């Protein structure tokens, strides 16, 4: 493919702005770029590669001549406009949940299942942020020793909810420290100095939608429909970076040293695992970085075939914008 014309839908949001940053940093070849958002952002100017570009309202006519459309708007926007963009000739990489479990739409993490890209029919889905970092860490181990069961607890930053949530955490923290009252607007309860075991809506089975995304998406990405998975997703008062405590049951025993050896060579993974030296990953150091960090690898004391891992990544970057741009890069190579 020649240098493509690119559209970014949802350009003014946190992920949309990160799309621009990642495209520039990776020197992604673009013959042109168009920025789209809602009518509230129409007319706003944003810099791309040193050039000021006007943000326009997304309409059905927005996609003529576009080769790649990166979507970071909500699921409703994606459901409406992604098929329109695909019909106009663009390949859509959609960051929302709109198409992830559609059997006709590939769900891709380039380090794991890049071959699925060729199955697209105009739309490729970007997985959920918490799913991406977990599968990047687990898939290299799964290839050597098939995984039978995963239990994960997540510690997810407020940036996963968007700019309004970041502002809410900042404002509530200031209010509490000054002796005032934290007034929740984005979240149902105070998030400053608190944790909330509720991300997305609750389902009839007692899990939240976020937790069930991790179950279904992991199986689809890893082509492993029989893996037993249970997730508990928790919102924590961290600005950027999701952390996960992951318990894994393999088909046979695997030592921590074997896991470290595999992960030290795995694409997209950075191993940080020296407890004696207090070396382990944490959100502040992962913010702004591309890698999925893994540490605290140890035997699961409750199961002979189990390991426990601590996984950390920038949810806005690898969990969203970077993964989508990596998909677009694979499209260019094809």
| Domain residue spans of the chain | 5-126+320-333, 131-315
* Cα dihedral 9, 288, 172, 245 sign: positive
Backbone angles phi, psi at 238, to 5 degrees: -120, 140
Contact 295, 307 (CB under 8 A): no
Number of H helices, E strands in the chain: 8, 13
* Cα dihedral 197, 202, 207, 213 sign: negative
Contact 125, 94 (CB under 8 A): yes
Exactly one of 120, 129, 142, 233 is catalytic; name it: 129
- CA dist 172 and 54 (Å) reads 33
Task: Work out the percent of the chain whose per-residue pLDDT is above 70.
Answer: 100
b (16+ CB within 10 A) / e for 125-138: bbbbbbbbbbbbbb
| pLDDT greater than 70 at residue 1 | no
Q: What is the pTM of this model?
A: 0.96
Tokens of 87: 């019909």
Exactly one of 120, 139, 142, 242 is catalytic; name it: 242
- CA dist 122 and 92 (Å) reads 6
CATH fit for domain 5-126+320-333, picks 3.40.50.1980, 3.40.50.720, 3.40.640.10, 3.40.50.1220: 3.40.50.720
Q: What is the arithmetic mean of pLDDT over 232-237?
A: 98
Report the chain's mean pLDDT, rounded to a whole number.
Answer: 97
Strands (DSSP E) along the chain, which ranges? Answer: 5-9, 32-37, 45-48, 51-57, 68-71, 91-94, 123-125, 147-156, 228-235, 242-250, 269-271, 292-299, 306-313
Model confidence at 300, in pLDDT bands (50, 70, 90)?
very high
Picking from 212, 86, 314, the residue whose alpha carbon sits closest to that of residue 220 is 212
* Cα dihedral 206, 231, 149, 117 sign: positive
Known active-site residue 242:
yes
- CA dist 294 and 234 (Å) reads 19
Rg (CA), the chain: 20
| pLDDT greater than 80 at residue 230 | yes
Task: Work out the percent of the chain whose per-residue pLDDT is above 90.
Answer: 97
Return the pLDDT at 214: 98
DSSP annotation of 112 reads T
Model confidence at 101, in pLDDT bands (50, 70, 90)?
very high
| pLDDT greater than 80 at residue 271 | yes
| pLDDT greater than 80 at residue 137 | yes
Strand 5-9 to 68-71 pairing? parallel
Q: Does domain 131-315 sit in CATH 1.20.58.1690?
A: no
| pLDDT greater than 90 at residue 333 | no
- CA dist 88 and 203 (Å) reads 36
The model's pLDDT over 174-202, given as tens digits with 9 standing for 90+, comes to: 999 999 999 999 999 999 999 999 999 99
The model's pLDDT over 42-99, given as tens digits with 9 standing for 90+, comes to: 999 999 999 999 999 999 999 999 999 999 999 999 999 999 999 999 999 999 999 9
Q: What is the arithmetic mean of pLDDT over 203-219?
A: 98
């Amino acid at each position: 493919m020649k240098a493509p014309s690119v559209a970014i839908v949802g350009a003014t949001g946190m992920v949309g702005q990160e799309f621009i940053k990642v495209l520039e940093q990776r020197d992604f070849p673009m013959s042109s770029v168009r920025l789209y958002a809602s009518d509230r952002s129409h007319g706003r100017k944003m810099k791309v590669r040193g050039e000021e570009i006007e943000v326009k309202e997304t309409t059905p006519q927005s996609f003529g001549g576009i080769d790649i459309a990166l979507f970071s708007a909500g699921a409703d926007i994606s459901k409406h406009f992604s098929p329109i963009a695909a019909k106009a000739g663009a390949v859509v990489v959609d960051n929302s949940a709109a198409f992830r479990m559609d059997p006709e739409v590939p769900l891709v993490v380039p380090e794991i299942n890049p071959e699925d890209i060729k199955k697209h029919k105009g739309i490729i889905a970007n997985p959920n942020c918490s799913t991406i970092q977990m599968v990047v860490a687990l898939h290299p181990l799964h290839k050597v020793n098939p995984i039978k069961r995963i239990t994960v607890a997540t510690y997810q930053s407020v940036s996963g909810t968007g700019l309004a949530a970041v502002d809410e955490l900042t404002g509530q923290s200031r209010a509490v420290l000054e002796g005032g009252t934290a007034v929740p607007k984005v979240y149902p309860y105070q998030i400053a100095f608190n944790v909330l075991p509720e991300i997305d809506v609750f389902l009839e089975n007692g899990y939240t939608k976020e937790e069930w995304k991790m179950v279904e998406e992991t199986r689809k990405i890893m082509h492993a429909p029989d893996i037993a998975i249970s997730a508990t997703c928790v919102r924590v008062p961290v600005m950027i970076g999701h952390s996960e405590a992951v318990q894994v049951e393999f088909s046979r025993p695997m030592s921590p040293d074997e896991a470290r050896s595999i992960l030290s060579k795995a694409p997209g993974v950075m191993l940080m695992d020296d407890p004696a030296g207090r070396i382990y990953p944490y959100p502040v150091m992962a913010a702004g970085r591309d890698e999925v960090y893994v540490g605290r690898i140890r035997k699961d004391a409750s199961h002979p075939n189990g390991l426990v891992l601590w996984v950390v990544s920038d949810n806005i970057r690898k969990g969203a914008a970077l993964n989508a741009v990596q998909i677009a890069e694979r499209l260019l190579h094809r």
